[in-house]
Amino acid sequence: MIKRVPLLSLLLSVAGLLTSAYLTYTHFNANALLCSADAVIDCETVTSSEQSALLGIPVAFLGLAFFAFLTVICLPFAWRIDALKWVRLGAVGVGVLMVVYLVAAEILIIGKICLWCTVVHVITLALAYLLVAASLRTSSL
């Protein structure tokens, strides 16, 4: 698995980048948002809520910046720089904390779930698992 970590991390980062780019676009163009709206699932309510911005910056844009950064530090050349291991781990640590906050906001404050946001959350958690597991395997060798 260790040999596939750079490629898998890059693919996940790009998937997160594309999904975050879509969410950023729809933050400014709500008519472009493709998501059903029912009792629980309602992307528009979530993406237009007070919690959809942090210090005046759209959370979707923060996600876009996060995944753009991760995409760069998960490029093949970046895996040859040992110090970036800690940068990747720190970045996904911040990402996981943000996921916890956003999921709590969706469930406890907004009372709705955004499926597109959930895709970003799952990608972030998968990246965190992948990078932490790879780090633990390489440090125990």
Q: Which residues of the chain have pLDDT under 50?
A: 141
pTM above 0.75, yes or no: yes
Alpha-carbon distance 10 to 2, whole Å?
14
Query: What pLDDT does residue 138 have?
Result: 76
pLDDT for 141:
45
Number of helices (H), then strands (E), belonging to the chain: the values are 5, 2
Q: What percent of the chain shows pLDDT beyond 70?
A: 96
Q: Which domains does the chain possess? A: 2-139 (1.20.1440.130)
- When the pLDDT of each residue in the chain is averaged and rounded to a whole number, the result is 92
